[in-house]
A and B are shown apart, each in its own frame.
Chain A
Amino acid sequence: MLPLVLRRLVSAIPTLFIVATLSFVLMRLVPGGPFDREKKLPPAIQANVERKYHLDEPVWKQYLLYMGSLARGDFGPSYKYLGRSVNDILREAFPVSLQLGLFSLVLSVLCGVGTGIVSAWRPGSWLDRGGGLFSVLGFSLPTFVLGSLLVFSLADSLHFFPPALWEGWRFTVLPVVTLSFAPAAFLARLCRASLLEVMEKDFVRTARAKGLRESRVILRHALKNALTPVVSVVGPLTAGLVTGSFVVETIFSLPGMGKHFVTAVTNRDYPLIMGVTLMYTVLIILANMIVDLLYGILDPRVRVE
């Protein structure tokens, strides 16, 4: 297992290098600099500002400087928040986004797989129809519509939960539910289809023939085999959670990376944009690595390699 992890970590380095280079090039190609104002700065100040952030150097030198500091784990200074480094901002924002993401991942897996099992139990029953309705809603209800709906009903009108910020468990409920809804619906549909397919296999018939109860057949024999396709989507699911977090963190004013990314784009705070992009890339790479490891645990055939 360990060599596999090490190999994956090493192979992630070129990917990160490419993403860093691409985002650097992308940001330098953008017309207009971060210090362009409606009113022009006096030339002396402009020159000073540019010298401070090495913007007066040739682009290749800027690139080398940036990559050099990246290699030391330094994302550089923020252009917008004066006196703060990107590392500083990420150190505060990352835990918020991580909590939000992990809670949502757990909740969506529990709800999704649970709904999938209940739906596959008796296909066509009213429970199955309920699950179907849930997945239709999950596919078509945009995150921001659901978020607004929840804020309007449970926060603004009924005052059950606070409508914004991140300062205790009561604050986590609405954002986590909003963010998990679509992934849960997606997982429910996938899990149902996968279970129904497995239920036709010979070993399930054998288990039934042994006289096992249906619950035991599903939970003990069918589920483990049905989970392989479910595990394989954890990577895309993480990507989906990142996308959702832009919206959820904006709606609920959470001080996480998604919110910072959105404001950084408006402010043209390039080092912050690149820093957040790289953090997300690392997250996605890690998620895909975990998927590969889980695969090996769930399906012994994959382990031979």
Chain B
Amino acid sequence: MGNARLHTGHRRGWISLIFLVALGTAALGASWFAPYGYQQQDPRAMLLPPGWSHLMGTDLLGRDLFSRMLYGARLSLSIGLSTALISVLIGTVYGAVSGYVGGRTDNVLMRWVEVVYSLPDLLLIILISVLIGRGAIGILLALSLVSWVTVARVIRGEVLKICTQEYIVAARAAGAPHRVILFRHILPNTAGPLLVTVIYRIPAAILAESTLSFIGLGVPPPFSSWGTLANDGWAAMKFYPHLIIFPAAMIFATILAFNSLGESARERLDPGRTGTRRG
């Protein structure tokens, strides 16, 4: 029974991975795959429903939605991936230092993390993006500056756990310097939980970015992420539902795929932390 559930979990993980790789390829090759230009307007083909010449229909200005979705995938995915990467860089260092040094340093560092963690993430992201400007880079930085605290919490917890292990005590007794203990003995052992956390940070960033864009505080034109497209579609939803259905469905499918991938990675790499026990 438990085994069967585990296997369906892994099958879901594989399906998600294949979906995401296909999506990533499509996004990378957007300029080859897209049948029309990204800004190419056609006044004779405005607000067309999905059909053979326009797979997902066209928008108010006669731009091909399928092509815009492909370019949007490029922006949405790269924001998700880069945010995850930056948060890992900041979060790992911060969490490792906090957990390893301990004592008062740990208290002070973690106090700050708790404050950021307890405030509404979107509130902070919006405030930071007001400060550094709302370009694609500004949004990316704002997302990363909030997202890293989750990584820091996980890493600190892992480091604290590993520090009590006998091989660390042994390394310390053998006179290994802190640098060696931290980088050779502790950090490599956090790889599993770290990877799982990273996978979960990606959909979180994609979600936050598309939400920001949907409420009109995201990347400004001419950029358009899936969230921007959904926001455009929202205005015309009543009469031209295809304009919101495709972006919304893609955002949902992508976040779902990343979450499933994260779950199956967690089952495999970090079994102790599996939140829901399998019956």
Contact = CB atoms under 8 A, between A and B. Distances in A.
B175 to A, nearest CB: 42
Contacts, number: 123
B120 A145 contact: no
A247 B123 CA distance: 12
B245 to A, nearest CB: 9
B275 A193 contact: yes
B78 interface: no
A242 B119 CA distance: 9
Contacts of A148: 230, 234, 237, 244, 248
Given A243-B123, A247-B214, A247-B215, A145 B252 contact: yes
Interface string A30-52: 11000000000000000000000
Interface string A132-143: 000010011111
A26 B132 CA distance: 10
Contact of A136 (B203, B230, B259): B259
B102 to A, nearest CB: 24
Q: Is the interface of B mostly helix, strand, loop or mixed?
A: helix
Interface in A119-165: 123-124, 128, 136, 139-145, 148-149, 151-152, 156
Contact of A30 (B1, B5, B131, B217): B131
Contacts of A166: none
B118 A236 contact: yes
A142 B279 contact: no
A244 to B, nearest CB: 9
Interface centre among A148, A152, A277 (most CB of B within 10 A): A148
A133 B265 CA distance: 19
B216 A262 contact: yes
Contact of B207 (A142, A190, A192, A196): A142
A100 interface: no
Contacts of A11: none
Interface in A80-127: 123-124
A236 B117 CA distance: 8
B277 A140 contact: no
Contacts of B216: 250, 262, 266
A141 B123 CA distance: 20
B113 to A, nearest CB: 13
A62 interface: no
Interface in B235-279: 237-238, 241, 244, 248, 251-252, 255-256, 259-260, 275-279
Contacts of A214: none
Contacts of A21: none
| Range for the number of chain A residues in contact with chain B | 35 or more
A140 B123 contact: no
B67 interface: no
B215 A262 contact: yes
Contact of B127 (A140, A247, A250, A277): A277
A144 B211 contact: yes
A246 interface: yes
Contacts of B123: 242-243, 246, 261, 277, 280
Contacts of B275: 189-190, 193
B276 A142 contact: no
Nearest to B239: A156
Given A136-B259, A148-B237, A284-B119, A196 B277 contact: yes
A273 B279 contact: no
A192 B276 contact: yes
A4 interface: no
A146 to B, nearest CB: 9
Nearest to A157: B238
B118 A239 contact: yes
A265 interface: yes
19 contacts: A123-B277, A123-B279, A124-B279, A140-B252, A140-B259, A141-B255, A142-B251, A156-B237, A192-B276, A197-B277, A236-B118, A243-B121, A246-B126, A250-B215, A261-B123, A262-B126, A273-B127, A277-B127, A280-B120
Given A26-B130, A243-B120, A246-B122, 12 more contacts: A123-B277, A140-B255, A142-B210, A148-B230, A148-B237, A152-B238, A189-B276, A235-B118, A250-B216, A261-B126, A273-B127, A273-B130
Interface of A: 15, 23, 26-27, 29-31, 123-124, 128, 136, 139-145, 148-149, 151-152, 156, 189-190, 192-193, 196-197, 235-236, 239-240, 242-243, 246-247, 250-251, 261-262, 265-266, 273, 277, 280-281, 284, 288
Closest 9 CB pairs of A and B: A123-B279, A140-B256, A242-B120, A243-B122, A124-B279, A239-B120, A145-B248, A144-B214, A140-B255
